[in-house]
Amino acid sequence: MRVAIACDHGGFPLKNTVILSAKALGHEIIDFGTDNGDVSVDFPDYVFKVGDAINRGVADRGIVICGSGIGACVAANKMKGIIAGLCHDHYSAHQGVEHDHINVLCLGARIIGIALADEITQAFLSATKDDDIRFVRRMEKVRKLEEFGHL
């Protein structure tokens, strides 16, 4: 799988951990930066790079990291075709893919540590979406909300 990864300065401390976790599973990494945790940058710029890569078919999934994960998640979910989930536990990371069909994992580097980031990354990248009719029906409703603003 091709995995696009990006972070802002707040997410930088976990970026290398996430990259190493994804590589250990055999995934191809597309690193969109930032490459420096000391220079303040705007998370939407980096979230866009990941979402755009997914929408163009350059990446299959994405991981974005900011300080809390919240800003990255909000920004990612504004992009058509992106379903992002903020996950700070193992269950949410795999269940988000399986039931909610997330294609972008959002992490908060000021919330979780290295060991948990590694575990969550592995859970997200190892999960496959479940096409059970219940989950497909629910995600179709989500797409209608995205497209039309109503069901």
Q: How many CA atoms lie within 13 A of 120 on its CB side?
A: 28
Tell me which of 7, 9, 27, 66 is the catalytic residue.
66
Query: Would you say 8 and 35 are in contact if contact means Cβ atoms under 8 Å apart?
Result: no
- C-alpha distances in Å from residue 3, one per residue of 28, 63, 133: 6, 7, 27
Nearest Cα to 101, choosing from 62, 73, 129, 131? 129
99 among known catalytic residues: yes
Residues in CB range of 114: below 8 A, 6 or more apart: 14, 17
Nearest Cα to 80, choosing from 105, 48, 43? 48
Beta strands across the sheet bearing 28-31: 28-31, 2-7, 61-66, 104-108, 84-86
Active-site residue list: 66, 99
